[in-house]
Amino acid sequence: MSHALPNFRHLYYFWVVAKEGSITRAAERLGLAIQTVSTQLTLLEQAFGKALFTQQGRRLNLTEAGRLALSYADQIFLLGEQMQEALDASDSTRIRLAVGISDSLPKFTAYRLLEVTTQLATPVRLVCHEDQYEALLGDLALHKLDVVLTDRAVPTGTTLRVFSHLLSESEMFVVGAAALAHEYRDDFPASLHGAPFLLPTRNNALRGKIDDWFERHAIRPDVVGEFEDNALLNTFGRRGLGLFFTPAAPAADIDYQLGAELVGRVPEVREHFYAISNERKIKHPAVEAILSAVHKGALADG
C-alpha cells in the first residue's frame, strides 16, 4: 500500500521530538503549542502508515519504524546543513542573511527595514521566509534564521532564548481604494461611523489598539472582513472591499504598494516593529546595519 510523501515540516517536528524525548519539551524548543506539535506527529504517522512512538510514562520511545525514520531524518538534516555551508563557502563575496518575516508584517515595511542591507560595502544575499510568528521563533531558536522581523516583542516568560530589539514605531493611516477614500475623507474621523472596514483578526497585536481607537471616537465600523495575513487584507482593500489601516508611509508608496489613497492619519494608534535574535547583542553585520539606520532616523515614520 502506497502512502503520501511526508511533509518536510512534519518530519522536522518529529526529529525534534525524537531528540527531546517529549512533545512538551519539543514544543518549548520550537516555541509552539503542544497540540500543534502533537497534530504534526499524527499527520506524519498517517503519511507513513506506521506508529513512530510508544508512550512509557512521561517519555516517548521510538518504535522500530521510528528509529528507522530518525536515522534517515538525521541524514537529511545533516546533509541540509552541509549543503548550506557549502553554498555559503562558494559565495564568499556575499553575506547571507536568513530573515523570517511575520505574515502580519506589512510587506512595504519589511522592504523598508531590509532596504539598508542593499547599501552595505559587502553585498548581502537575502533569504526571506514568511510564516506565522510562533513558527518563525521556533526556527530562530534552532538557528535556521539569523533574525525575525515582526510587529510584536517576544512575550515575557518564554523558554526560548531569543531577544527583542525595537526597530521603529509608526503612526497608522486609514486608507482605501480611490472611491472609498473620496467618500469618507471629509469630516474624518467622524465620517468613519458605519464605514466598511477590513481589520486584522483579534489575535493580532494591532487589533486591540484599533478597537480602542474606534471606541474613544464613538465609531462603529461595518467590519466586512477580518484577516490573519496582512498581504491578503491589503489585496481585498486594493479591490475596494473596505477601508483599512496601514503604517504611515509617503503617499507615493501607499499608492504604489497598496493601490490606495489616504483617508486620514491616526497618530494615537502606533504599530511597533521588532528584530528578534538569538543574542542580546546582534552580531550579524547586516542586522547591525538595520539597527544603525534606525538609530540615525533613516527608518522613522514616513
pLDDT at 301: 46
Q: Render the burial of 167-186: b for 16+ CB within 10 Å, e for the rest.
A: bbebebbbbbbeebbeebee
The mean per-residue pLDDT over the stretch 295-299 comes to: 56
pLDDT at 280: 65
Q: Where exactly does CATH 3.40.190.290 map onto the chain?
A: 169-271
Q: Does residue 125 have a pLDDT over 50?
A: yes
CA pair distance 60, 19, nearest whole angstrom: 10
Q: Does residue 177 have a pLDDT over 90?
A: yes
Q: Give the residue, 75 or 244, on which the prediction is more confident.
A: 244
pLDDT at 302: 42
Q: Give the residue, 232 or 214, on which the prediction is more confident.
A: 214
Please give the CATH architecture assigned to the domain spanning 92-168+273-294.
3-Layer(aba) Sandwich (3.40)
The mean per-residue pLDDT over the stretch 247-251 comes to: 82
pLDDT band of residue 300 (cuts 50, 70, 90) is very low
Number of other CB atoms surrounding residue 210 within 10 Å: 20
Is there a contact between 171 and 269 (Cβ–Cβ < 8 Å)?
A: yes
Q: Does residue 44 have a pLDDT over 80?
A: yes
Q: Does residue 269 have a pLDDT over 80?
A: yes
**Looking at the domain 8-77, which fold is it?**
Arc Repressor Mutant, subunit A (1.10.10)
Q: Where exactly does CATH 1.10.10.10 map onto the chain?
A: 8-77
Give strand pairing partners of 65. Answer: none
* C-alpha cell belonging to residue 238: 486594493
The pTM of this model reads 0.62
The residues near 4 (Cβ < 8 Å, ≥ 6 apart) are: 47
Please give the CATH architecture assigned to the domain spanning 169-271.
3-Layer(aba) Sandwich (3.40)
Q: Please, what sign has the CA dihedral across residues 179, 182, 183, 184?
A: positive
pLDDT at 149: 92
